[in-house]
């Protein structure tokens, strides 16, 4: 359907197959034409660089001009606002902190939709409420453009090395076109379903991750107090039904594993504040869909309490430290 | 120390090394001497059969005489009570439903300790409060016997096929002797540390398991309501940081995996009531050691609510069904 | 400030005092001029009747025409949509189920703001997200009108007998004018602060109410299982520090008190589904303001689980029944 | 039944009524005979003083000899251990920190039951697990003595001024005799039912109290962040269905009320650690009786987390501070 809307780009005809083929053809041929990029923060910056590295001319903008310097030096063209990006590129990637920013960048007075061209492909990699993704998609569709949500898993490191995982929601016919670009920045690009399902998958994963991390921290703490050696306990859990990513890959107890934040005073990694934000999104979607999420909800509250008690910028595995008795008690 | 207490069994002398060697030697040579078994329920029955299958003469008892028939037909000698078992065997395995049963079988008027011989090895495979294991060990030690806790993971199926995992707590010098017997009934025998740590490991694993299962159920339910296909969501979680045993091995959503209780109306498997019992143990040990376990505690309450609402005998993965909206709502 | 915006209504001058006086004067004199009413549901219907009873001519509308019959027979003038109400009345009360309805009734194509007159007083008694109240107030202000939020506590009974409590947020200068109308429908009219604080007060109260109700239910259930007589336990709690509205005024245990839903199979009263909705609002505002509300959050989840298990239309005190073991277990 | 056991004290006859009458008569006449007191801590000390003040000769003991000095100076006779107290007094009150202490004081090698006289009345005012109270009562009964549980509500201040509330469990026939003594130390003496129900009532009250306090703290914090004045919010809650003891008598927000710990940096009052202990008891009894207590359980975990984070000795209303964002965040 979306493809039909971009019929003006198609050379061959009206039948669905032709349209699609034509679009893909056009895009493939056009693959080194300009790509727009809005949002050059900690994540957006390395992502845009990877596009440049793959030979794509990049037209970029950010509300903070200084964020644009690095990519500008690498050859990107910097413009004043999202509308100008949309004026010059028909494939645009956005990477923004939260729902209000996305709403503003797309539908604001200088937003993408002010100058978006028919047939444009708009890919939003922000982690936001899936209902906002749906709104943006509907608004884009009215102007003949396609909006897809494609949030990422993986942090700044994965963004730099091009190893992100993208979870993509939107019309299936456009997935190939989206994947072409996203593959420059990520190792996995997974199609999740209709628009919003990329966000849904991301939110679901992070909710279960938070539950697993707090659960692992409680369990390790309890076991240690009951006289178990932490490394041995981790080994037992990992060969049993208690096994999870937080126990076998990112263990929160200092000394159990190497190369994880728990071994580095919980610095680096994925901040407690960011986890709290994602759990807030999970909570909102659960509330809106009237879905009971008792552990997810409590996990949200625990990360919220941690933020209130000074853990906002520590890695989210520091919940082990939060639950452990203070020294001197 | 425990070995020294059993000095009367040793031929060579009083020095630690000789005693240990002699004991091990004696046990090894004596490996086909009688083994006592108390508790022939759903788990104890197949466990005792595996001992018989490995050539051990078994002396058994159970409060329900009819539970003894099967192993009697296979050659086990049935006696009236645990004290008589202790009178005839110096290696005894117990497999009982809960702490009060263990206390009674060991310290009751017809309990094992009434007739236990110096140097006996007593192995309790029940899942109970680790503080009770410690009490039993202390009481046994006064009589010159060694008590080890060795709870299992794996259900009736694993008990029948000899594939249980044993988590063993107690004096390390006796682990080899315990392992000799336990290996007849299990595929893994893991030494966990001092007495009680076997229970601790079991309880910790099951607490994290419960958290992971409820978390997976919430997450799958939320994802489905947000429009994700359940199989696809499971696949995404399993390649991401949300991965856990409940998502990749025992998925609670009907249709996602084969050969698990969710595919069979939550029959078979590990009952909600049993999980609630184990979570009660986890809660008790956490309370006693003043360890915060917020998610473990809520998991306990959720399984408790499920028991109150008719889920007691369904597999513990039925929490997915409990959280999902009733049809017709 | 709002008063200044309605300067065109004022005869005397621009100084603040005169403006206010003039407005109040105008309103007082005009007190029997028409009052608009949008939303004639279970609550709105008796509220509108009470306005009629106090001699106010009422101009009303509702999306369901049949909801208008009763007040029409009592003399209200029925119009087609909110815009027409605004065309004919400069004081309007709205009573709607949820935020989207409020947004539509005010800002939709046939919404109040399409024809609102400068200086109008718009009072919304719906229970909604305070951030939506703020948005509506800002939109009204641009058109020279004043919007106040005035959610109620008390159910259909209190609405019929004119005994509601109104919690009012908005510019303080307009409180007197609002109170004049609201007093016809309620026994208490409390000024809470700037716009949105009426909602905030309502949401806060209901969150604490839900926590108290579940807490009372757990406590009564535990006490009964420990051998206490329920009436005696209630009496002890009510003379001690466990006392709360749910224990002393609305006890959830059948037989403890008369005239409450627990004595009538949890029929009537305040439905579980409505409580779940209010707790969802509390959760949203807590998430948006990054406020930890662990018990409020769990209360939300419990009412959500109850909705999923068939309790949606029972009074919210039925949580006692939900937690109690099923008969036959 | 208990009265019959103490038949040797009775002069009149064997029929139940005569026995009871005789016993009561004997006790009444004997009211100024010696009363034993075990446990002279923060609470026991002022309680024993009140007995002295009412003219009762007191025989006391404590594991810490220095704790005995004050009451000794006031005329109490100090003996070496509980057994000696039982040797000299047939009415004994015990006030101890926790279950193991009670078990030791009653059944230990120098315990009360070693020398208790037939017909003695033993009143335990400690807050402990009701199942331990039942065990003690059964052990006393075998020796012809009556054990009653009579935990208190009210702190050191109420103990000093004789204003405690006693919740009493045990055989009803002995309540009058118990009340005679307890009335010297408390303003309210409430009969709760069979032995253990005094503890049950205490535990239930404190669980609901903790839930109410955390709920009030969350609610006040949320309301403040939503722009409400704390005093106004408290007032609104207190006239509405959110009202509870923690909102109207012991408000946790500094500045809302006078004369409560929140106005004094959460010093004095009822320590977080003590609340955590009582919630642990509630949790244990709930687990043992398989009663779901989701909010009580989470309240326990929150107070446990607070202990781990340095709040152990602050009043339990400091949960408001714990949940509030740290300054400088």
B240-281 residue pLDDT tens: 999 999 999 999 999 999 999 999 999 988 999 999 999 999
Give C164→chain D minimum CA distance, Å.
11
Q: What are phi and psi of D314, to 5 degrees?
A: -85, 155
Q: Which residues contact C15 (CB under 8 A, 6 or more apart)?
A: none
Kindly determine whether residue C211 and residue D206, on different chains, have CB atoms separated by under 8 Å.
no
Query: DSSP alpha helices (H): ranges in chain B?
Result: 2-5, 16-29, 44-53, 69-73, 82-88, 99-107, 112-115, 130-142, 156-160, 175-182, 197-225, 230-238, 245-248, 272-288, 294-308, 319-323
Query: What is the per-residue pLDDT for C327?
Result: 56
Contacts of B197 in chain A (CB under 8 A): 226-228
Q: What are phi and psi of B127, to 5 degrees?
A: -100, 110
The distance of Cα A258 from the centroid of its chain, to the nearest Å, equals 26
List, for residues A280-314, the tens digit of each pLDDT value: 999 999 999 999 999 999 999 999 999 999 999 99
- Rounded Cα gap, residues B265 and D24, in angstroms: 63
- Rounded Cα gap, residues D319 and D228, in angstroms: 20
Query: What is the per-residue pLDDT for C85?
Result: 98
Nearest to C218 among D225, D242, D296 (CB): D296
Cβ atoms of D321 and B328 within 8 Å: the answer is no
Active site residue ranges of B = 202
Length in residues, chain A: 329
* Partners of chain D (3+ Cβ pairs below 8 A): A, B, C
- Nearest residue in chain D measured CA to CA from A325: D308
Kindly determine whether residue B292 and residue D276, on different chains, have CB atoms separated by under 8 Å.
no
Over residues A88-113, mean pLDDT: 97
pLDDT at A158 over 80: yes
Query: What is the per-residue pLDDT for C256?
Result: 98
* Partners of chain B (3+ Cβ pairs below 8 A): A, C, D
DSSP A33-78: S-EEEE--STTHHHHHHHHHHTT--EEEE-SSGGGGHHHHHTTPEE
Kindly determine whether residue D300 and residue B308, on different chains, have CB atoms separated by under 8 Å.
no
- Rounded Cα gap, residues A166 and A70, in angstroms: 24
Give B131→chain D minimum CA distance, Å.
14
**How many C-alpha atoms does D11 have within 13 Å on its Cβ side?**
5
- Rounded Cα gap, residues D243 and B188, in angstroms: 57
Query: DSSP alpha helices (H): ranges in C152-229?
Result: 156-160, 175-182, 197-225
pLDDT at B27 over 60: no
Counting as low any pLDDT under 50, the low residues of chain C are 1-31, 328-329
Contacts of A276 in chain C (CB under 8 A): 290
List, for residues D111-139, the tens digit of each pLDDT value: 999 999 999 999 999 999 999 999 999 99
ipTM of the shown complex: 0.88
Maximum Cα–Cα distance across chain B: 77
For chain A, the residues whose C-beta falls within 8 A of a C-beta of chain D are 298, 305, 307-310, 312, 322-326, 329
- Rounded Cα gap, residues A272 and A243, in angstroms: 22
Kindly determine whether residue A205 and residue B290, on different chains, have CB atoms separated by under 8 Å.
no
Query: What is the per-residue pLDDT for A5?
Result: 31
Nearest to C191 by CA among C164, C223, C167: C167
Residue A322: count other Cβ atoms within 10 Å of its Cβ: 22
For chain B, the residues whose C-beta falls within 8 A of a C-beta of chain C are 298, 305, 307-310, 312, 322-326, 329
Cβ atoms of D187 and D165 within 8 Å: the answer is yes
Contacts of C307 in chain B (CB under 8 A): 325, 329
List, for residues D205-249, the tens digit of each pLDDT value: 999 999 999 999 999 999 999 999 999 999 999 999 999 999 999
Query: What is the per-residue pLDDT for C156?
Result: 87
Residue D35: count other Cβ atoms within 10 Å of its Cβ: 26
Nearest to B308 among C308, C310, C326 (CB): C326
The distance of Cα A16 from the centroid of its chain, to the nearest Å, equals 31
DSSP 8-state symbol, D109: T
The domains found in chain D, sorted by start residue, are: 2-195 (3.40.50.720), 200-323 (1.10.1040.10)
The distance of Cα C152 from the centroid of its chain, to the nearest Å, equals 3
Contacts of D299 in chain B (CB under 8 A): none
- Nearest residue in chain D measured CA to CA from A312: D329
Active site residue ranges of A = 202
List, for residues B295-320, the tens digit of each pLDDT value: 999 999 999 999 999 999 999 999 99
Token pair listed for B41: 């329920």
pLDDT grade, residue D154 (50/70/90)? confident
List, for residues B70-115, the tens digit of each pLDDT value: 999 999 999 999 999 999 999 999 999 999 999 999 999 999 999 9
Nearest to B301 among D276, D292, D304 (CB): D292
In order of A126, A265, C1, the CA distances from A272 in angstroms are 18, 14, 42
Nearest to D324 among A308, A312, A329 (CB): A308
Give C260→chain B minimum CA distance, Å.
24
Kindly determine whether residue C309 and residue B326, on different chains, have CB atoms separated by under 8 Å.
yes
- Rounded Cα gap, residues D297 and D171, in angstroms: 31
Kindly determine whether residue C297 and residue A292, on different chains, have CB atoms separated by under 8 Å.
no
Give D253→chain B minimum CA distance, Å.
25
Query: What is the per-residue pLDDT for C188?
Result: 94
Query: What is the per-residue pLDDT for A156?
Result: 87
pLDDT at B21 over 90: no
Token pair listed for B309: 């609402």
Local structure of D25: helix, strand or coil: helix
């Amino acid at each position: 359907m979306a493809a039909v809307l971009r019929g003006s780009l198609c050379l061959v005809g009206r039948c669905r197959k032709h349209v699609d083929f034509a679009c893909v053809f056009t895009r493939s041929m056009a693959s080194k034409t300009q790509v727009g990029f809005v949002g050059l923060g900690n994540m957006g910056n390395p992502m845009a660089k990877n596009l440049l590295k793959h030979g794509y001319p990049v037209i970029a903008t950010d509300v903070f001009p200084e964020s644009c310097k690095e990519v500008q030096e690498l050859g990107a063209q910097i413009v004043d606002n999202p509308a100008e990006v949309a004026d010059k590129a028909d494939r645009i990637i956005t990477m923004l902190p939260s729902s209000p920013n996305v709403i503003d960048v797309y539908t604001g007075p200088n937003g993408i939709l002010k100058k978006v061209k028919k047939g444009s492909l708009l890919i939003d990699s922000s982690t936001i409420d899936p209902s906002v993704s749906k709104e943006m998609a509907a608004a884009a569709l009215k102007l003949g453009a396609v909006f897809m949500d494609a949030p990422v898993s993986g942090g700044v490191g994965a963004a730099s090395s091009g190893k992100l995982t993208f979870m993509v929601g939107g019309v299936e016919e456009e997935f190939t076109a989206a994947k072409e670009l996203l593959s420059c920045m990520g190792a996995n690009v997974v199609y999740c379903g209709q628009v919003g399902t990329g966000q849904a998958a991301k939110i679901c994963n992070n909710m279960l991750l938070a539950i697993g991390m707090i659960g692992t921290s409680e369990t390790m703490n309890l076991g240690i107090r009951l006289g178990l050696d932490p490394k041995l306990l981790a080994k037992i859990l990992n060969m049993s039904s208690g096994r999870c990513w937080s126990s076998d890959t990112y263990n929160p107890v200092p000394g159990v594993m190497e190369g994880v934040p728990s071994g580095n005073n919980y610095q680096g990694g994925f901040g407690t504040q960011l986890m709290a934000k994602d759990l807030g999104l999970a909570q909102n979607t659960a509330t809106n869909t009237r879905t009971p999420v008792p552990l997810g909800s409590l996990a949200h509250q625990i990360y919220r309490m941690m933020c209130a008690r000074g853990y906002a910028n520590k890695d989210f595995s520091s919940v082990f430290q939060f639950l452990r008795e203070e020294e001197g008690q």
